[in-house]
Each structure stands twice: as structure tokens, then as C-alpha cells.
Structure 1
Amino acid sequence: MRRLSLTARLGLLFMLALTAALLSAGLAFQHLSRQHFESLDHHVLLEKLHATQGVIGALNDVAELDSVRPQLHALLGAHQELRALLIDADGRVLFAVPEGARLPEARRVASGRLWLWQDGERLLRGMTSRVPLVGRAQGLTLLLAVDVTHHEAFFAELERWLWIALAVCALLSAGLGWLVARSGLRPLREVTQVAATVSARSLKERIPAQAVPVELRPLVTSFNGMLERLDESFVRLSNFSADIAHELRTPLTQLMTHTEVVLGRARSLEEYQEALYGNLEDLKRMARMIDDMLFLAKADNGLIVPERQPVALHQLTAQLLDYYRLLGEDAGVELSQDGSGMIDGDAGMLRRALSNLLSNALRYTPAGGCIRVHIDGGDGRVRLSVENPGPGIPAEHLGRLFDRFYRADPARREGGGHAGLGLAITRSIVEAHRGHIRCESANGLTRFELEFPAAQ
């Protein structure tokens, strides 16, 4: 089943709301009009009743009624739509206006309340009351009724026009609601048009938020933010693809050139073996690069889930420093450690992250320098810093230092078998452990600081 469009639904709701409001107003007007006319009829009947009681109430006997008959005719006969009956205790009609007027037998019991009676095509509203006589214990019964047929005709005509007006207003409000909804949803259609034209070449386009209603500004702001994030991701992906191509092209070119030179003429077995060993080193470097890129791809998609085991960072660091001290002795670099801390995490992944930082620090620390590892904890956090002297990193490069294949400058260039993925892998491992990493470089000192939640 095909669902109505948002414009049609808003127009329909507008029509229903307006129709309901008009219907309520019409019914309320009709009800108030009925009450008004009924109040007028009640007032007329009470006025005639009190006047009649004043004329008849002074009589001592029914026989004296003839003396006030002209007054009763003048009082009750002047109203063309009024019927009046005066009845004694035996049910005899003593006075009637007009002559031969009749009223229902069931209404001849005094009640003091208004009643309705249908007399053929005429509708009467009346009142019954007891009129006492001075000289008799039992008084007379007075029935007064007003012809309200014209009232009912007015209400029937009013109801007919009410339904006609309601139908016309419903149709007009449906069209007006559709136009209003369509006009109000124009900014939403503009957002849709921009979204439909978005491609890799048009990610720079933005929707101006000032030209849309207040209700749609959060949507437009979110959409523009999404385009900005997509643009940044696309740029990073394009740069990443270019970096991959560049990094893989270099060893492949070396392999091809080396192989072509070796095959250029006949060589001895030892020369072939030496050439194959050289090719194997390049292949291993390419394999490491591919493994690193796969690790980063899994980390970006949330597929790297570290184990949650208690890890003593000071013990893990001490084990790594035992290995790197051997390398540091050859380069004339010292390594020191102080502090302790416990976190929940994956020891293997943390070892890889710290190894990248120590390897990086050892590569750029000049002879005679000292690499310091400091661990401390507090406020439910554990912080580990790796500090080394050496060439500083310009401030404009610190924000992109953890991007893939990014190199700050030739002085910090990862040469040899390093493709520029170590710091990116380190950041992915730290973030997988719900931690943060940052770098500071000033006054000839470079420090990487890692922060983790403390062990529970």
C-alpha cells in the first residue's frame, strides 16, 4: 500500500484540524442560539403567567371570571403566537385564547417547567402553573404555550448551511493546507536536491543555514557537518591511496631493477643467492607494510578488540628496555625508567605500541642522550611518557604526526624499512584501550604521553 507524502499528510491534518474547529464553533453557536431562544420563550411565558396570576388571583370565585375576561383577552390575545387555557379543578375549560385552542392533557398537571408539544406541523413550548383563588381551596390551572415552529425552521436552515459551509471550508482548507505544507517543506526539498547531487567531486558544497526555518537548522547543520566529515575522510583516503602507491612503488621498482640487472647476464650460484637475499629483504619490508595497513584498516572498523587483563606497565616497560638497552649501547644512548601503574588491556598490543615509541625515540636521539620513560597514576588514570632529546618537531606538524605515511620533515623522516605507519598504529592501539596520546616538542626535547583508565 502506497503511503501518502509528507505534504499530503500535513495538508490533510490541516484540513481535519480546521474542519474540527469550524464544526465545534458551529455546534457551539447552534447550542447557544437554542439556549437564547429558549430563555426568551421562558421569559415571555413567565411574564404572561405573573400578569395572569395578578388578574385572576384577586377573584373570590369562578363566577367572577366573566368580569376580568376582557382583561385576559387584552393580556393574552395580543400575542399571536401564544396559546392559553384556564381550567378548573374538574377539567372544564373556562377561558381559551385563541377560541378553540387545545393543549395536551398530559401537560395539565402543574409543574412550573417548560415542556414541548408537537401539534401537527406546529411545535409549542409551554408552561403549566396553578393559579389560586381567594375564596376557594382549589384554584385554577393555567396552561401557556408559545409557537416556536419558526425557531425550529431557523435552526434547520442554520444546520443545513452549517454543513454546506463545513464541506466548502474542508475543500478549501485541504488545498490551502497542501500549499502551506509544500511552501514550508521547500527547504527540505533543497536539502534533498543537494544530497542527490553530492559526489566525490562536489563534497565542498554546503547548504546555507540562514535561509532555512529554525526547525530545519539542526538538520541542515548536521547535513553540512556530515559533508565536511565526508570531505575530510575522502581527502585522507585519497592521500592514503597515493601514499600506498608511492610506498609500494619504490620497493617494487627496486625489485624489478635489481632482478633485471641480475638477469642481464649469466652469473654464478653465489651471485644469484646474494640477489635473492636482497630481494627477500625488500619483500619482507613490503609484507610488514601490508600487515600494518591491514591492522589499521581493522582498527578503523572497530575490529581490533583488545583483551581486558591486568597489565603492569612498569613491568612491561622494563622488559622492553632490557632489549632496547642493547641497541642503545651501540648508539651511545642511555634508557631510564621510573614510576609504576596498572591498567586493563592487551599486553601484546601495548608492547607493540611502546616498542614503536621506543624505536622512534632511539632512532632520533643523538649519542650521549638519554631516553626517559615515566609512569604515574592518579584520579583513576595512568599516564606513561616517553621523552628523548633530539631534533624538534615544528608545531604545525604535531597535529598530523599520527596520520598514516605522514613525515614531518626530512630530519624526522623514517628511513630504511620504516613506512611511516608506526605512530598511526600506536594511536589505534591506545584508542582501542580507551586512552589518548599526544606529542609535545620544545627546547630540543620530544615527549609522547599516553593516558589510560586505571585498572578496576
Structure 2
Amino acid sequence: MLQHLSLTARLTLFFTIMAGVVVFGVGLLFMHEADQHFIDLDRMTLLDKQHLIEEILKDTASPKDLRWRLREALSHHHGLFSQVKDPSSAIIFESKDFISVPKTSEDNTLLTWKNEGIEFRAIRSQFLSVTMPASAFEITVALDTQHHQHFLNDLQRSFAIYAVLATLISGLLGWWAAHQGMAPLRAMKLRAAGVSGQQLDARMPIAAVPVEMADLARALNKMFDRLQEDFRRLSEFSSDLAHELRTPISNLLTQTEVTLNSEREGAVYRDILASNTEELQRLSRMVSDMLFLAKTEQGSDLLHKEQFSAAKEVQALLDFYEVVAEEQDIHLSSQGEGSLFCDRLMFRRALSNLLSNALRHTPTNGDVVVD
């Protein structure tokens, strides 16, 4: 799926995902720290009330005064519940609507539990009174954390909205940054699109692109150099070919037009046709030679090298020229055996040119030997 997305879209997607992960990660960390802060705050509040009760127990000698002082000190705190028991587990003081606190084996351990969907925290401890001998009191202090939960829930909702908006805004900023970052690439694309056969000298400005794209610009410039050189060679080849073919074709056309202007004897027509044949053969060799030179300029990859018998190829060419040789009373023959590793067509073309020249310059009753 990502293969079909543009580079800008990919960068935007990756940036949005990373921004979302970071924002939500920071949010989870913040929520955890906020919850831990409230836990510490509740523990400090519970310990503070516990110490207050202990101070009252220290300074009070009678149970009656103890109940009165505890009621005055602890009855005005909303969400705070406290209970004091004497050594016989009789309740000396208990806040209104006091809830049952789970048992614990350790003193001053922060307990957290839920009752009817509401989370509570409590601390239970034992205190030995000095003013009332042999009186070990059990102190339990509990706290309703519902207000903390309301705050955390509101904070969580607000942060969720903020995280979504922050991620979307980060995605838009990421798209803008990626779009701006791709500006040099778009400029290179427009510059490359302007290259044509009439404007092959255009090059990519290496100094105007970022470092990461400099290698790409150099590679494109080298490619344009090769294209310009190949186009120049092609133009020169076309020009040379037209120049070489223009004169012989013009001669053939003129000679043919002159011949057709008046009636002539059969021998004259044969001589003219023989002359045209020689000229056409020369044109054919010229075209073949120019094509061969054009191929060799492009490298040896165009040559199909193979192992073959030289004697068989020589004999095939001798058979081809046998008719021409018989008309001129020339004897063709070959000697020797061997194999070659080269382009078969190029070998036949070279040998054919040699045999053609030999037949043209060998006198009657002569011999042409391929050794």
C-alpha cells in the first residue's frame, strides 16, 4: 500500500504517527504522575489527620473529653472518615457514614479499595496512650477520593481532545514541511521535463539542491551528457549518410532519365543496367559499412560472438559467387581448416567484400584462392 503513496504522503503519515505516539505517550505519563500525586497527597492528608488524633489522645485523660475533642476536630471535613477504638475494640469515636475498611496486617499502610463504585483510601494504626495507661487505641482514617477521580476523568477527556487535535495539527505541519522539503525535487522534475532534442544542454543545478539530492543531480547531469553525445553522433551519422547517398542516387536518377528519353538498342540498355547495378552495389556496401561503423562506435555488446567453422562459411560464400566467377572464367577455391570465435555476420560481410573485389580485379582464366 505504501508503494502507491507519494513521498510527501509517506513522510506526512510517518510524522503523524510519530507525533501521535509521542503526544499520547506524554499524556499517559502525565496522567500516571497526576494519579501518583493525588495518592501522595491523600497519604499526607491521612497521616496528618492520624497525627492530629494521636495528639488529641496524648493530651486527653478522660474518654468523655476524648470524644468531644475528636468530634470537634474531625466532624467538619467533607469526605474524611475516622474511627477510634479502645483496646477492647469498643468504638470511642466514629464519623458519620463511616464505611467498613478492609483489614491489614501492617500499620500505616495505605489501603485503596472501592465501595459502590467510589474509590477510598485509608490508613490504620495502633497508638499507645500515655495519659491513659494500658490503653492501645486503634486509629482508622479514610478518605473519599471521588473528587480526585472527577478531576482525573475531566483531565483525561480534555487531554484526549487535545491529543487528537495536536496529532492532526502535527500531521498538517508535517505535510507542509514535507511539501516544502520536496520543492527541490519538483524543481528538478520541471527542469528535466524541459529537456528536448533542441535543448539537450540543460543541466541540474547541483549547488541549488540539498546535499541529499546532489548525487541524484550529478547522476542526471551525467545521463544528459551521454544523451547529448549520442544525439550528436546520431545527427552526424544522419548527415554523413545523406551526404554519401545524395551524389550516387542523383547520378542513377539522371542516367535513368536520360536513357528513358529516347529509344536505344538492347546492348545500350544492358550496359546502362550493368552500370546501375555496379552503382547500386557500391551504395549497398556503403550503407553496410556505415551501419557497421555506427554499431562499433556503440561498443562490442552489439556483436554476437560465437564459435563456428571457418571452412564452412568460406565454402558457402564461394558457392554464392560461383555463378559470377563462371561468367568471368575465374576459378574459386579454398584451403585449410579452422574455427573462429567472432560475429558470424561480420565475418561473412568482410569476406564477401574481399571476394567481390577479387572478382572485379582478377583477369579471365585466373584463380581466387581463400587460404
Task: Give the alignment's TM-score, normalised by structure 2.
Answer: 0.67
Which one of 93, 104, 114 corresponds to residue 100 of structure 2? Answer: 104
Q: What is residue 246 of structure 1 aligned with on the other side?
A: 243
Determine whether 1:207 maps to 2:199. no
Does structure 2 retain, via aligned residues, the 8 Å contact 1:87–1:140? yes
The residue number in structure 1 matching 2:304 is 305
Pair 348,142 (structure 1): closer, same or farther in 2 beyond 3 Å: same
C-alpha separation in 1, matches of 2:179 and 2:289: 53
Shift of 1:70: 6.5
2:129–2:136: 8 Å Cα contact kept in structure 1? yes
Partner of 2:280: 283
- Please tell me the residue identity of whatever aligns with 1:201: Q
Query: How far, CA to CA, are the matches of 2:230 and 2:145 in structure 1?
Result: 82
CA distance in 1, matches of 2:73, 2:105: 23
Distance (Å, rounded) in 1 between the aligned partners of 2:210 and 2:288: 50
Whether 2:121 is the aligned partner of 1:125: answer yes
State the SS of the aligned residue for 1:287. Answer: helix
Q: Distance in 2 between matches of 1:246 and 1:10?
A: 57
What RMSD over aligned residues (CA atoms) do the two structures have, in Å? 4.3
Deviation at 1:23, TM superposition (A): 1.6
Q: State the secondary structure of the residue aligned to 1:182.
A: helix
**Deviations 1:172-220 (Å, cap 9, x if unpaired)?**
3333233222222222222232333332223222332222222232333
Higher relative contact order, structure no. (Cα contacts within 8 Å, ≥ 6 residues apart): 2
Residue in 1 that maps onto 2:112: 116
8 Å contact kept, 2:12–2:171: yes
Flag the structure with higher helix content: 2
Structure with larger Rg: 2
Check the 8 A contact 1:56/1:65 in 2, yes or no: no
- Give the drift of 1:104: 1.8
Pairwise CA distance, 1:13: 3.3
1:169 and 2:166 correspond:
yes
Tell me, in whole angstroms, the C-alpha distance in 2 between the residues paired with 1:108 and 1:64.
Answer: 29
Distance, in Å, in 1 between the alignment partners of 2:104 and 2:89 is: 9
Correspondence for 2:214? 217
Counterpart residue type for residue 17 of structure 2: L
Shift in Å, 1:240: 1.3
Size of the aligned set, in residue pairs, is: 318
Q: 5+ unaligned residues in a row in structure 1: which ranges?
A: 312-343, 360-456
Query: Structure 1 residues 75, 241: CA separation in 2 closer, same or farther (over 3 Å shift)?
Result: same
Flag the structure with higher strand content. 1
The 1:119/1:264 distance shift into structure 2, 3 A limit, reads: closer
Give the whole-Å Cα distance in 1 for the aligned partners of 2:90 and 2:302: 106
Other structure's SS at 2:305 match:
coil
8 Å contact kept, 1:123–1:148? yes
Q: Aligned in 2, Cα 1:307/1:92: closer, same or farther, shift over 3 Å?
A: farther
Question: Residue 10 of structure 1: CA displacement?
Answer: 3.2
Question: What amino acid does structure 2 have at the position aligned with 1:142?
Answer: I
- The question of whether the paired residues in 2 share the 8 Å contact of 1:111 and 1:129 is answered with yes
Q: Residue 80 of structure 2 is aligned with which of 76, 79, 82?
A: 82
Aligned to 1:154: 151
Q: Does the 8 Å contact 2:241/2:290 carry over to 1?
A: no
> 1:162: how far off?
0.8
**Shift in CA distance, 293/113, structure 1 to aligned 2, threshold 3 Å:** farther
Amino acid of the residue matched to residue 306 of structure 1? Answer: K
Q: AA paired with 1:26?
A: G
How far apart in 1 are the matches of 2:34 and 2:186? 48
Report the AA paired with residue 259 of structure 1. Answer: T
- Provide the secondary structure at the position in 2 that maps to 1:240: helix
